[in-house]
A and B are shown apart, each in its own frame.
Chain A
Amino acid sequence: MAAKVDAISNVEMQVGEESYLTAKKGLKSWLFTLDHKRIGIMYLGSVMFAFLLGGLMALLVRLELLTPGKTIVGPKTYNQLFTLHGAIMVFLFIIPSIPASLGNFVLPLLLGAKDVAFPRLNLASYYIYVFGAIFCVYSIIAGAVDTGWTFYTPYSSTTDTSVISMTLGVFILGFSSIFTGLNFIATIHKLRAPGMTWSKMPLFCWGIYATSVIQVMATPVLGITLLLLVMERALGVGIFDPQLGGDPVLFQHFFWFYSHPAVYIMILPGMAIISEIIPVFSRKTIFGYRAIALSSVAIAIIGFLVWGHHMFTSGQSELATMIFSMLTFLVAIPSGIKVFNWVATMYKGRIVLRAPMLYALSFLFLFTIGGLTGIFLGAIAVDIHLHDTYFVVAHFHYVMMGGTAMAFFGGLHYWWPKMTGKMYSEKLAKIAWAITFIGFNMTFLTQFALGSQGMPRRYYNYLDQFQPLHAFSSVGSWFLGLGFLLMVLYLLASLRSGEKAQANPWGGATFEWTISSPPPEHNFHHQPVAKRGPYEYSVEVGR
């Protein structure tokens, strides 16, 4: 499995040299580290914790929906559970998941850099994340929010739950996101290895670049909006609440002006990972490099202009509805192009079905369903029927969880040997993947049918006619939970008893595979030079 590499002396650690994990010891060496790899690992631990917390709430929500009426909790608790599930998953898990954890770790390695452009800013972004997360957790204890993760006014300005601490938490998290984005933009511009032109850059970096631009440009709008909401609640300034002379629909415009681009903050990094995994495990150069790279940029730009498609029934004008519908269809095209390119990359390749590739395949399967069902929602007349029903819930779970989360776990399995220096059990990984895949489809495919029948979302209670499908979906969620639990267990077990990972276990051609696993503290002994493209596999590679 040895790879042909350019800089021979980069592969092995020099005598007596320690990896980044052991080079410095003690808790302080972690808490004050400026090493992008360690910050990435700390982010990884944090987002995984958030994922488990949000996942637990999802399981409780599904358990409550097993039967109509009360199953385990009352309506208020149920409303708090689905709100926290959404808020935690969006703000504490998905948005930071790929960029801040895996991105932090591998972006400088992929570029052939020693670190990100601003290591201190990087550490600051982590602490701001933790600080924001503390506000969110505090809000759970102090009367958990029950507004839905969208915080729609005037409900959010009148409910008696702790909206202020939750929105402040999200406001603070926004800065963490902006810092990471800013850092990555500078890193990609300034720290690429000699010879790495924009068109020789690994596609992961293109995806992260597009993401970062949205993070920097859109997040301030959310910050200001939430701050206005806090001012309204705390000081009684009328902005959104009609009782005070405000306009509630204005809040929706502001909120979605961020939160729709945020959907691309979530999915673009997922696509970025898929663009790395598929060529490596097909032993074949990526098909349509330019199209994939530029479609990320296209998505980032058009993504700013489609927020009104969340508001077809909000009372916005018919003209606005028409324009937003048209732009929504346009943004579908670049995503479609990517899918076709990935499939074409695999054509006539030599496909190795290891765990990362399996996750990439499930991404393709699930994201295709997520994307195709989006066409129903873009068509105005059909959306009017499906809006705010389980159809929408199913659609965005296929994109966000079937897309981003699957890509994240694919990336985690792909770079795990590099990050930890250990191999996980391939057999358990395949079993967990299969359970997750089946559980996911059981849980969410059902919900397309529920939504088409007219089952509204965010319902504590429901009509008896919906029970069989709801119950089926709930049972699916148990498989999903089981699959993820198993994954966490074998990944943790690999740290203790996993086989030692080689420098290049998958036969990748990007820079991170030219150094030892885990990497030394300063990444590269010699400045690597990009003499060939990131997906040029020579015959010797990877067997």
Chain B
Amino acid sequence: MGIFAPFLPIQGSEHAERVDVLYDFIFYLDIFFFVLIVGGLIYIVLKYRDRGEEREVPQFSHHFALEVTWSVVPLILVIVIFFWGFNSYITSRVAPNDSMEVRVTAKKWQWEFEYPDGTRTLNELHVPIGRPVKLIMASVDVIHSFYLPTMREKMDVLPNRYTALTFTPKVEGEHQIYCTEYCGDGHSEMLAKLYVESEAAYKKWLETGGFDEKTPLNQIGAELYKKRACVTCHSIDGSRIQGPSFKGLYGKTEQIVGLGPVQVDDNYLRESIVNPNAKVVEGYPSGLMPTYKGLLKDREIDALIEYIKTLK
């Protein structure tokens, strides 16, 4: 790694290390040419600046050998870079046979993950360290793009076909996931986290969903509020984002399209999470919120309701 290391995210995989070597190579090559061209430029301007003296300006119109040199040398260099870049790209596109396959569904504005055992999560992807992962991705609405900077990997997620992305994580911990294809108002909130864990921790997570029995429900709810993307559309300070704010929501009477006034209680909240378009509050768009059916366990729905109750 060169002096430019602080500008790149940590290297989460061997592929990331390979990409960075090329990045550094281009970086130093660029520095060389920049100094050559701009340095030369500054030298020439300083040395040959018009100072009002009478001086014969030599007129020369071309120099064949020089021109061939500065055409051919850069050409050779870029051909080298081309093969280098292609080689490490094509290596990263081939998923090893023992890859763990995870299905990814992108929708405005959240990421849904489905594991081989049927477990489904939202905006959090858990994988064991050292095992190659193959994501098979599709979108249900517009084009999104799955970006994992620490793995130096990115792939668009399309509504009409599957795309795939492969990585083999080697650094434990949290890794940021972004959406990098512009997809509307919530684009910059369409974030997710990759958790690279030891094999044992990963197994435990698959069983418990990451919450132990002793954590109070409203605390779990507060965490789910952020992790499960409620935060993208519902504020907790009373301001309007896409949907109604959670502040003071519980117990409030809302005007429902086609039904009139309805009081917000536990059952209303549960229905709105599982079947969001059944009772839409007047003045808010219908069909915007996707269903959370199957994405939240019963206990997690309880936790969210308890959390909303605390927001007075």
Contact = CB atoms under 8 A, between A and B. Distances in A.
Contact of A289 (B27, B62, B84, B188): B62
A380 B155 contact: no
A510 B19 CA distance: 50
B89 interface: yes
Nearest to A311: B156
Interface stretch (B45-53, B245-253, B255-263): B45-53
Which of the listed residues A326, A344, A381, A463 has the most CB atoms from chain B within 10 Å of its own CB? A381
A146 interface: yes
A378 B158 contact: no
B49 A318 contact: no
A38 interface: no
A441 interface: no
B143 A152 contact: yes
Contact of B183 (A155, A242, A352): A155
Contact of B188 (A152, A284, A384, A461): A461
A322 B86 contact: yes
B19 A385 contact: yes
A289 B59 CA distance: 13
B37 interface: yes
Given A291-B67, A372-B34, A454-B178, A325 B82 contact: yes
Given A248-B158, A381-B85, A388-B145, A155 B188 contact: no
A322 B60 CA distance: 41
The binding surface of chain A is classed by DSSP as helix
A249 B165 CA distance: 18
Interface in B35-73: 37-38, 40-41, 44-45, 48-50, 55-63, 66-67, 70-71
Interface in A370-388: 372-373, 375-376, 378-385, 387-388
23 contacts: A76-B185, A148-B182, A152-B181, A155-B143, A242-B159, A285-B60, A285-B61, A287-B63, A318-B89, A329-B78, A344-B63, A348-B48, A364-B37, A381-B85, A382-B22, A384-B89, A452-B8, A453-B7, A453-B8, A454-B9, A458-B182, A458-B188, A459-B187
Interface of A: 75-76, 79, 146-148, 152, 154-155, 158-159, 242-243, 247-249, 282-291, 313-315, 318, 321-322, 325-326, 329-330, 332-333, 336-337, 339-341, 343-344, 346-353, 361, 364-365, 368-369, 372-373, 375-376, 378-385, 387-389, 448-449, 452-454, 456-463, 536-537, 539
Listed from nearest, the 8 A-B pairs whose CB atoms lie closest are: A379-B85, A454-B149, A242-B160, A459-B188, A329-B78, A380-B89, A388-B180, A381-B88
Interface of B: 4, 7-9, 18-19, 22-23, 26-27, 29-30, 33-34, 37-38, 40-41, 44-45, 48-50, 55-63, 66-67, 70-71, 74-75, 78-79, 81-82, 84-90, 92-93, 141-143, 145, 147, 149, 152-156, 158-161, 163, 176, 178-189
